[in-house]
């Protein structure tokens, strides 16, 4: 069951020339509070009794330290050492309520008193707190905040006496005491009018200051707008440069890709050309080997000295002479010549003598089947391996000698 408690009026005790104020307001009541709903948290419930309130009052002066009050979030005891907009000056118990006298700086007074922005208060207190100068038994108050969502049932009403009325009473209190006469009410009225005039002048000054601040804010806004426009232009320029750089990069990339493709194509062409040259060199070397052997046979070297060369002259040269043409020349030069055999090759129009290889086949370096086919085409197979004019003249001379004989 919840009990509706009437709001306690916050009392304005004094106003200062700088705009600050001193007020008295309720900060804590006897109640049972759910720990889990508080800032510090915890399990179970916390019951605040009148004796707890009285213990807070008893520990206030012995604690001997400022009790700062702020706005917003609660802070731990050790974190309250910085500047604060308000302080608790004293505390007292009234029935079931703990009342505190709080000094407010101008900003805090503008929010709490003039602006009436807060209707609640939440305390920061500790149990059996140990300070550098002693120990405090029971609960002690070490801080608090103005809030509209206090954990304890604290609700205060705005002051009934406005700022102008308070200022008038303060102004009146510092004047010399006047005898009680019929004109005293007039003097009080005069003082109140003077106070109101002073308050009006102060408000006018505030308005002027606010107008100046507003003009400065407008000027700052215009400057920021111009700066923002300049930054936008610079950003657009930078974006244009980036797009241009991207386009150049893309073009260079495409060019590089084209160059790579051309280089790759040229590399392939070069590889093909190299292979063709290699093949041509192989063919040329093969032809030279055949020519050397055929020339040796024409000179009377027996074909058996060159067994196996016809199928693959290069492989035969590699196997027999480690691929050396000079070694082949030396070998051929050292072989014996059969003059009769040479003469027979030179003048013979038919097959070579029995026991020898087919003369025409040997001369031409062709198989019997190939020789037959060449003859069937009306060609002389003896000219099949002729590769230059010298060989052709030599073979023609041999054939002419044969025909003359």
Task: Kindly report, residue by residue over 16-43, the tens digit of the pLDDT.
Answer: 999 999 999 999 999 998 887 676 667 7
**3-state SS, residue 143:** strand
Whole-number pLDDT of residue 208: 87
Task: Kindly report, residue by residue over 97-126, the tens digit of the pLDDT.
Answer: 999 999 999 999 999 999 999 999 999 999
- According to DSSP, residue 100 is labeled E
- Among 162, 188, 219, residue at a domain's last position: 162
Most confident among 178-182, 325-329, 361-365, 389-393 (mean pLDDT): 325-329
d(CA 379, CA 374): 6
Asked, for residue 172, whether it belongs to a domain, the answer is no
The answer, yes or no, to whether residue 255 has pLDDT greater than 70, is yes
pTM of the model: 0.40
Q: Which of 176, 202, 21 is nearest to 108 (CA)?
A: 21
Whole-number pLDDT of residue 18: 95
d(CA 180, CA 190): 16
**Parent domain of 17:** 8-162
Q: Which of 34-43, 78-87, 219-228, 310-319 has the lowest mean pLDDT?
A: 34-43
Asked, for residue 207, whether it belongs to a domain, the answer is no
Q: Is 103 left (phi over 0), alpha (psi -120 to 50) or beta?
A: beta
The 10 Å Cβ neighbour count of residue 193 is 11
Instruction: Kindly give the pairing relationship between strand 139-146 and strand 67-71.
Output: parallel
The 10 Å Cβ neighbour count of residue 347 is 14
Q: Residue 12 in contact with residue 168, Cβ under 8 Å?
A: no
Asked, for residue 41, whether it belongs to a domain, the answer is yes
Residue 58: Cβ-neighbour burial (10 angstroms; 0-12, 13-18, 19+)? middle
Whole-number pLDDT of residue 99: 97
- Among 104, 137, 162, residue at a domain's last position: 162
- Among 145, 162, 179, residue at a domain's last position: 162
Q: Residue 352 in contact with residue 344, Cβ under 8 Å?
A: yes
* Range 124-142 burial, b when 16+ CB lie within 10 A, else e: bbbeebeeeeeebebbbbb
Asked, for residue 28, whether it belongs to a domain, the answer is yes
Residue 183: Cβ-neighbour burial (10 angstroms; 0-12, 13-18, 19+)? exposed
Q: Which of 7, 73, 2 is nearest to 31 (CA)?
A: 2
Asked, for residue 144, whether it belongs to a domain, the answer is yes
The answer, yes or no, to whether residue 290 has pLDDT greater than 60, is yes
Question: At 353, is the pLDDT very low, low, confident or very high (cuts 50, 70, 90)?
Answer: very low
């Amino acid at each position: 069951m919840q009990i509706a408690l009437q709001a306690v009026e916050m009392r304005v005790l004094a106003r200062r020339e700088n705009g600050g104020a001193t007020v008295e307001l309720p900060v804590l009541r006897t109640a049972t509070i759910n720990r889990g709903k508080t800032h510090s948290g915890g399990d179970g419930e916390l019951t605040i009794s009148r004796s707890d309130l009285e213990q807070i009052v008893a520990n206030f002066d012995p604690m001997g330290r400022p009790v700062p009050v702020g706005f917003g979030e609660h802070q731990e005891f050790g974190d309250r050492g910085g500047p604060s907009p308000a302080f608790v000056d004293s505390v007292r118990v009234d029935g079931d309520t703990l009342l505190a006298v709080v000094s407010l700086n101008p900003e805090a007074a503008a929010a709490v008193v003039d602006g009436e922005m807060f209707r609640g208060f939440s305390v920061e207190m500790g149990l059996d707190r140990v300070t550098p100068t002693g120990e405090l038994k029971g609960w002690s108050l070490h801080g608090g905040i103005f809030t509209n969502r206090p954990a304890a049932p604290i609700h205060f009403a705005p002051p009934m006496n406005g700022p102008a009325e308070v200022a008038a009473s303060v102004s009146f209190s510092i004047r010399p005491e006047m005898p009680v006469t019929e004109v005293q009410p007039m003097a009080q009225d005069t003082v109140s009018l003077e106070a109101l005039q002073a308050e009006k002048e102060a408000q006018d000054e505030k308005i002027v200051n606010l107008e100046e601040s507003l003009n400065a804010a407008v000027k700052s806004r215009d400057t920021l707008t111009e700066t923002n426009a300049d930054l936008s232009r610079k950003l657009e320029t930078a974006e244009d440069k980036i797009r241009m750089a991207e386009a150049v990069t893309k073009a260079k990339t495409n060019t590089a890709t084209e160059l790579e493709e051309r280089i790759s194509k040229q590399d392939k062409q070069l590889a093909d050309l190299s292979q063709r040259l290699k093949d041509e060199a192989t063919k040329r070397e093969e032809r030279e080997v055949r020519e050397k052997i055929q020339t040796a046979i024409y000179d009377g070297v027996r074909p058996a000295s060159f067994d196996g060369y016809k199928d693959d002259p290069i492989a035969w040269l590699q196997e027999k002479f480690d691929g050396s043409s000079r070694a082949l020349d030396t070998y051929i030069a050292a072989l014996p010549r059969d003059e009769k055999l040479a003469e027979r090759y030179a003048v013979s129009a038919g097959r070579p003598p029995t026991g020898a290889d087919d003369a025409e086949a040997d001369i031409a370096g062709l198989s019997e089947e190939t020789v037959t086919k060449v003859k069937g085409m009306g060609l002389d197979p003896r000219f099949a391996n002729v590769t230059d004019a010298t060989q052709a003249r030599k073979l023609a001379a041999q054939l002419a000698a044969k025909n003359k004989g």
